[in-house]
Amino acid sequence: MDHPLTPTDADQQLPALEVRALSMEFNVSHGRGHHAVRAVNGLSFVAAHGQVTALLGPNGAGKTTTLECAQGLLKPTGGTVRLLGEDPWNAGPLLRSRAGVMLQDGGLPQSARPGEFLRHVSSMYRQPADMSGLMDRLGIHSFARTPLRRLSGGQRQRVALAAALAGNPEIVFLDEPSAGLDPQSRTVVFELIAQLREQGTAVVLTTHLLDDAQRLADHVVIVARGTVRASGTVAELIAGDDGGRPGALRIGLTAGQRRAWESAPPVSSGRSTSESEEPPTGVSSFGRSIGLNVTLEDDRVTVTGDIRPEVLAHITSWLADTGELPTSMTLQPRTLEDVFLAIAGREIR
């Protein structure tokens, strides 16, 4: 098989991975027959060369299933996947040599030793990476001769990462790359991912850690219940449709204000479903129609949700009516966590 091993210019124009309207159903058998479970339901996203794309979502959102369809390990029941312009399910050796995979469960034989297993994986590629250098970089040499079953989760994770990079891939899939890593290994792995991006490699990773996504990702795809709920850069997601309103309003109340708030709060939580539904007597209905979330803990009030200018005006006017200044008052910038919880939070709790 003599194929050119360098990608053509046309290849570089295409996204490294294009997932369109992907669906994946599994037949789950139980006591009295089968029923279909839909793990992925019309999911679409694109991953570009030289970028880190993070699939972010709660456990069971369909992230791993999506990756397995993209890696050619599962045949989708609907939609299309183009990996480097080709169908991964029918991938030949050449396409597989251009994509590296790190599985969530490791994919490592327990009785093997890291050194020999990685050399074996390298032998599958015509132009393998410098495995010794990679092992050095990831600190694998110190346990290269210890059977994999005796290694810690973080050590195994590093071996799995080296296996994914054995063939100098143009696109690399990392399923939960920082799971089980100690802080030092995490830094090493993150540096390696940043370096891959600089080399033009497309990195597609899954995580449920917002911190990882915020630190690593150029492009974040928030997945919940098998579909994409939001996507964009971290900055875009934080800015949202409203240009980046604050994530939270925190107010420290005086003792008097606290008593007043407890007896008749000026704002209330929740989203009213019908106009006729009246709040309890004395409680303002302000906030209900826009779905604010209000908590009072000791003398601190926290308001999250869609904090519009009128929300601030309403609350400050109430504070003014008490005749006292609050002890403190801050508007906190929105974080990726606020965005994530606003999108996925209601469904996971």
Q: Rule CB under 8 A: which residues touch other proteins? A: 1, 71-73, 91-94, 96-97, 99-101, 103, 105-112, 120-121, 123-126, 160, 163, 166-167
Cβ–Cβ < 8 Å for 47, 173: no
How many helices and strands, by DSSP H and E, does the chain display? 13, 13
Edge to edge, the sheet with strand 17-30 lists 33-47, 17-30, 78-83
| CB atoms closer than 10 angstroms to residue 305 | 22
Q: Which is nearer to other proteins, 26 or 190 (CB)?
A: 26
Q: Least distance to other proteins from the beta carbon of 103, Å?
A: 5
Contact 144, 113 (CB under 8 A): yes
| Between 25 and 306, CB nearer to other proteins | 25
How many Å apart are CA 40 and CA 25, to the nearest integer?
A: 7
Q: Which is nearer to other proteins, 54 or 118 (CB)?
A: 118
Nearer to other proteins, 160 or 315 (CB): 160
Task: Give the residue with the Cβ less far from other proteins, 99 or 205.
Answer: 99
Task: Please name the residues in contact with 161: beta carbons below 8 A apart, sequence gap of 6 or more.
Answer: 102, 138, 174, 177, 189, 192
Q: Minimum distance between the CB of residue 25 and other proteins, rounded to whole angstroms?
A: 16
Rounded Cα gap, residues 301 and 95, in angstroms:
56
The minimum distance between CB 162 and other proteins, in angstroms, equals: 12
329: left (phi over 0), alpha (psi -120 to 50) or beta: beta
What spatial distance separates the first Cα and last Cα of the chain, rounded to whole Å? 52
Orientation of helix 255-263 relative to helix 309-322, angle to 10°: 110
CB-nearer residue toward other proteins: 135 or 222: 135
* Closer residue to other proteins (CB): 101 or 221: 101
* Smallest distance, other proteins to C-beta of residue 257, A: 58
Q: How far apart are CA 169 and CA 101, in angstroms?
A: 9
282 touches 289 (CB < 8 A): no
The CB-of-129 to other proteins minimum distance in angstroms stands at 13
Of 13 and 111, CB closest to other proteins: 111
Instruction: Give the DSSP letter of residue 177.
Output: T
Q: What's the closest the beta carbon of residue 1 comes to other proteins, in angstroms?
A: 7
In whole angstroms, how close is the CB of 71 to other proteins at the nearest point?
5
Q: How far apart are CA 136 and CA 154, in angstroms?
A: 15
Shortest reach from residue 81's CB to other proteins, in Å: 14
